[in-house]
Amino acid sequence: MRLEGRVGIVTASAGAGIGQATAWALAREGAKVVVSDIHERRTNEVTQSLKANGHEAIGVVCDVSRWDQVESMVQRTLDAFGRVDILVNNAAREIIAPIVDTTEENWDLIMDVCLKGTFLCTKAVLPTMIAQKSGAIVNMASVDAYIGNPIGECAYCSAKAGITGLTRVTAAEGAPHGIRANAIAPGVVPNPYLEKVYPKEALQSMVNMSLWKKGARPEEIASIVVFLASDEASYITGVVINASAGMHWSP
């Protein structure tokens, strides 16, 4: 198992998408997993399911846009497992509206969850990772950071572009301490949340932009997270991996 004995925090990991798939993927590779999500019931359900299948896990309800809650999440991780080896910043929000109809409130909400949340969680784990002289941070960006999706995602595209920049800065600051930071830019990963956010026709048009004319399964993205968190990626840092089946070839 590639991650045996390591401890990983996965934000927004109680839903039916990339986050939960990542929590399971890390656990199957031997990691102790912190299931973090804003939804208490789902957090408890996923945590109990992991434990029932023989994995070590704790659940922590956390709003990643709140420093006090993020700080508490990391402290609970340290209390339970004594270290943090992996952070997967997966939490996100999407609201579809053109620029002229995007309210300041909605802009702030998306920035707070996507970009500020990634910053706060990174800030919270870095002191422990620096003390350990090791750590792997994987941020969930998006192909939308590059293609500027025209269906009305100005705040989301901007936040995800910000994550790519934050990833590179984290890699630069973490390098002297043995800490790696990378990001993944998925294309469309169909799940119940996206089906609520996007009109059906818009979601299908995005899927059709890929070379394979289909969306990714959450498990396909989770497998990239496992790779980036493992020693197999020991010489990879500051990179954004495009996982969109050719929707856009990132630099």
**Out of 146, 156, 193, 198, which one is annotated catalytic?**
156
Q: Give the Cα separation of 163 and 140 in Å (integer).
A: 8
Is 114's pLDDT higher than 90? Answer: yes
Instruction: Give CA–CA dist 34/2, Å, rounded.
Output: 17
Looking at the chain, which runs of residues are DSSP E strands? Answer: 7-11, 32-37, 57-61, 86-89, 135-140, 179-186, 240-243
pLDDT at 150: 67
Output the pLDDT for position 203: 77
Residue 156 catalytic? yes
Mean predicted confidence (pLDDT) in 59-63 = 98
Assigned domain for 250 exists: no
Q: Residue 63: which pLDDT band, with cuts at 50, 70 and 90? A: very high
The token pair that represents 184 in the structure block = 């993944």
So what's the pLDDT on residue 250? 40
Q: What share of the chain has pLDDT > 90, as a percent?
A: 80
Q: Are 153 and 94 in contact (CB under 8 A)?
A: yes
* Within-domain flag for 158: yes
CATH number at 83 reads 3.40.50.720
d(CA 223, CA 32): 17
Whether residue 153 has pLDDT greater than 90 = no
* Within a domain: 2: no
- Please check the confidence at residue 84 and state whether its pLDDT lies above 90: yes
**What percentage of the chain reaches a pLDDT higher than 70?**
98
Radius of gyration of the chain, Cα coordinates, nearest whole angstrom: 17
**Number of structural domains, the chain?**
1
Q: Is 31 helix (H, G, I), strand (E, B) or coil?
A: coil
Q: What is the pLDDT of residue 248?
A: 61
Q: Span 154-181, mean pLDDT?
A: 97
